[in-house]
Amino acid sequence: MVGNNKMRENGKENKFISAVVYLHNEGEAVRDFFDRVIAVFEANFERYEIVCVDDGCTDITLEVLREYLETHPLKAMVSVVHMSFFHGLESAMNAGRDLAIGDFVYEFDSVNVDYDPKLVLETYHRMLEGNDIVAATAGRAARLSSRIFYAVYNQTSRGKNRIGAETFRLVSRRAINRIKAMGQYIPYRKAVYAGCGLSKAEVCYEPVRQKRQHGKQRAGERVSLALDSFIYFTNVLEHLSAILCIVFLLFTVGVGIYIIRDYLMGGQIVEGWLSTMGFLTFGFFGVFALLTLTLKYLSVILNLIFKQQRYLIADIEKVAGK
């Protein structure tokens, strides 16, 4: 009751909030992120922490961060998790989330802000309506490749919840505990959150500014993540293998019918052609049938053993706070 009275008196929420922020060569964008987004935390939350994940930064990102915190003191504790080497977005954010201690955890995959900062508070209010995961989603994925990926993924996904281009998300402690209880490594957070069985909501927004494009390294990471996600969470490879298997089966049947028709009609056939074509088509059918079964077994094995958490942290630096 004391906490609730205090919240009413100063207008701030008394839930403990964690903000996990991904950093990889973001440069001056860090300053803008703290000015616009972290200011919302400062103004609306009584208690919060910031966990910045340094995923192998090689530019001035950390210098800008330290300078900003020296000139703009925050009441929150700010920690920097230094990864041992470049891990990529998903593994690095897993590390930051595992170290966060808040009742609710914000996951900011980028410090490039293309939304109104008030959206941070809007996702929090949606969480209080009874949701465990709330995602801030742009009205439409910027890249054609992203739209194609989400369309194919949602059509072939094993889960019921659809995923889209999420800018950041808010996750409850219950959702985090559910994922950990499942004992799963999280290769693609939004897919695992969508399939964990808890209530999920979206807050859509129209971008208010242009988002900075990431370099070739992040582009390669997205391609690799997309391929891994199709293997982990969808049946797309099994479906593709099954379709090819059916195509070669039909081709085998067609060649067989052609062989029988020519034999019965006494047609002139090049010696060895029929046996060669029959062998090749049947062989391809067998290969794709075997591939279908192999992919199915791999899918079962992945579901049974999945992967344990995998990341390496060099050290954790406390750069601000009490």
Number of domains in the chain: 2
pLDDT band with cut points at 50, 70 and 90 for residue 48: very high
- HSE-up (13 A, CA, CB side) for residue 158: 17
Are 173 and 263 in a shared domain? no
For residues 54 and 33, membership in a common domain is answered with yes
The reply to whether 93 and 181 lie within a common domain is yes
Q: Based on the fold, state whether residues 228 and 241 are members of the same structural domain.
A: no
Residues 106 and 49 in one domain: yes
pLDDT of residue 207: 86
Q: What does the pLDDT look like over 15-37, one tens digit per residue?
A: 999 999 999 999 889 999 999 99
Let me know whether 151 and 211 are in one domain: yes
Question: Does the pLDDT of residue 289 top 60, yes or no?
Answer: yes
- Using the predicted structure, report yes or no on whether residue 1 has a pLDDT greater than 50: no
Q: What CATH number does residue 9 fall under?
A: 3.90.550.10
Would you give the end-to-end CA distance of the chain in angstroms? Answer: 25
pLDDT (mean) for 275-304: 67
Q: How far apart are CA 72 and CA 174, in angstroms?
A: 33
Which has the higher per-residue pLDDT, 234 or 128?
Answer: 128
Same domain, 210 and 253: no
Higher pLDDT, 1 or 81: 81
More confident residue, 117 or 309: 117
Q: Look at 112-116, 216-220, 257-261, 271-275 and tell me which has the smallest mean pLDDT.
A: 216-220
Residues 68 and 187 in one domain: yes
Q: Alpha helices, DSSP H only, in the chain?
A: 2-10, 29-33, 39-44, 61-71, 89-99, 118-128, 144-156, 173-181, 189-194, 216-233, 236-265, 273-305
pTM: 0.74
> Out of 81-95, 188-202, 277-291, 296-310, which region has the weakest mean confidence (pLDDT)?
296-310
Task: Verify that 204 and 287 share a domain, yes or no.
Answer: no
Which of the four pLDDT bands, split at 50, 70 and 90, describes residue 286? confident
In this structure, the answer to whether residues 80 and 218 fall within a common structural domain is yes
Q: How confident is the model at residue 277 (pLDDT cuts 50, 70, 90)?
A: low
What is the DSSP secondary structure assignment for residue 234, as one 8-state letter?
B
| One domain, residues 26 and 114 | yes
From CA 137, how far away is CA 122, in angstroms rounded? 12
Greater pLDDT, 288 or 212: 288
**pLDDT greater than 90 at residue 91:** no
Same domain, 255 and 315: no
Residues 38 and 74: beta-carbon distance below 8 Å: yes
What range does the domain containing 285 cover?
A: 236-305
> In this model, does residue 252 exceed pLDDT 90?
no
Q: What is the mean pLDDT of the chain?
A: 80
261's tokens: 């028709």
pLDDT score at 192: 82
